[in-house]
Amino acid sequence: MPVIKRVIVVLGMQRSGTSTIARAVHALGVPLGNNLLPANIFNPRGYWEDQRIWRLNQNFLDLVGASHQTGGVNCQGILDHPKCESLIAKTTGYLHKHFGDCPLWGLKDPHIGRLLPLWKIIFQRLGVEPSYVIAVRNPLSIAESLQRCGLAAKESGYVLWLENMFSAVDETLDSPRVFVDYDALFGHATEELLRMAHTLKLPADPQQSQNIASFAENFLSENLRGSSYNLEELRTVFPDPSLFFDLYEFMRLAAHDQLSPGAFSQRWTLLTLRYADVRRCLAAGAAQYQKLLAYYQHRNRMWKPLKKMERMVRTGRKTLLQGSRAAL
């Protein structure tokens, strides 16, 4: 019987605890590779994501002039781009080279949540079955962290969080997954990691207990946690009815196993209907952004040769003046 190869994918908005959760996945015996982004002042304990994959995901976003800071990412537009296929092939080749012989491996990059339709193609070509870990954190903490790191203003952070999390949940409805409350890791790390391992049916690791203890005692700290807000504080910022509040409450209930499959499906259907107008607004905003970007790119293309001609004229005038003075 052939061995089923698996990949554990950590999804979530930037600054939502995806790095810490990826490290937790690693503690459960899931390798993440050796080409990881180095730690820095924003993530002193490391990002736990492959730096080549980070660059390739940015290349995908570049195809439609997007980035991790822009909303309304059009994944279908990326898939339709003539350069997308070569990028998919390059990404598939890189992962096959580094993880092709691994029956189980892990992947984390906050870009992936909004790019899942194309990543599903990559996983299919690799012959791996994806399971997902969705990081859940109060959007107040995320927006505050984004602003502190200079990545986005608070208002933009809220909108980016909404888009990222809707995509992460909607694109994984038919896949094995687990929601993890980032704040719950602090004080309940052992329980949360064992819950992750059980839900994702990860193979037993002889060193698992020791690795979990090391993660809880040596990796986690209150300094790493950053700010922490509760539901009532979120309701103060987003009073009823608020899609921001309702989406976070929904995911938090899922992260604490407080939703039956029927209740989950019913609430998600209602949230999706409410999000439809937001999605259209984000798409319209992205389209306007694309028009502005094309205009400025065209202007720059025209501006450079004009500036060059201006320099040539100035040089010519200077030469003529020098010649005229010499003749006099």
- Give per-residue pLDDT as tens, 220-240: 987 788 889 999 999 999 887
Q: Which residue has the tokens 């092709």?
A: 100
**Cα–Cα distance for residue pair 168/175, rounded to 1 Å:** 11
Average pLDDT over residues 188-209: 93
pLDDT band at residue 205 under the 50/70/90 scheme: confident
Within 10 A of 39 (CB to CB), how many other CB atoms are there? 13
For domain 5-229, give the fold. Rossmann fold (3.40.50)
More confident residue, 204 or 296: 204
Task: Find the range with the poorest average confidence among 11-15, 154-158, 254-258, 269-273.
Answer: 154-158
More confident residue, 70 or 98: 98
Indicate whether 293 pLDDT > 80: no
Average pLDDT over residues 266-283: 86
Task: Find the range with the poorest average confidence among 45-49, 266-270, 287-291, 313-317.
Answer: 287-291
Q: What is the pLDDT of residue 71?
A: 81
Dihedrals φ, ψ of 10, to 5°?
-90, 120
Query: Identity (one letter) of the amino acid at 239?
Result: P
Dihedrals φ, ψ of 37, to 5°?
-60, 140
Q: What are the Cα distances from residue 33, in Å, to 86, 156, 212, 309?
A: 23, 32, 19, 51
DSSP 116: H
Domain coordinates in residue numbering, the chain = 5-229
Hey, is 87 helix, strand or coil?
Answer: helix
Dihedrals φ, ψ of 294, to 5°?
-65, -40
Specify the pTM.
0.85
Q: What are the Cα distances from residue 114, in Å, to 202, 216, 256?
A: 26, 30, 24
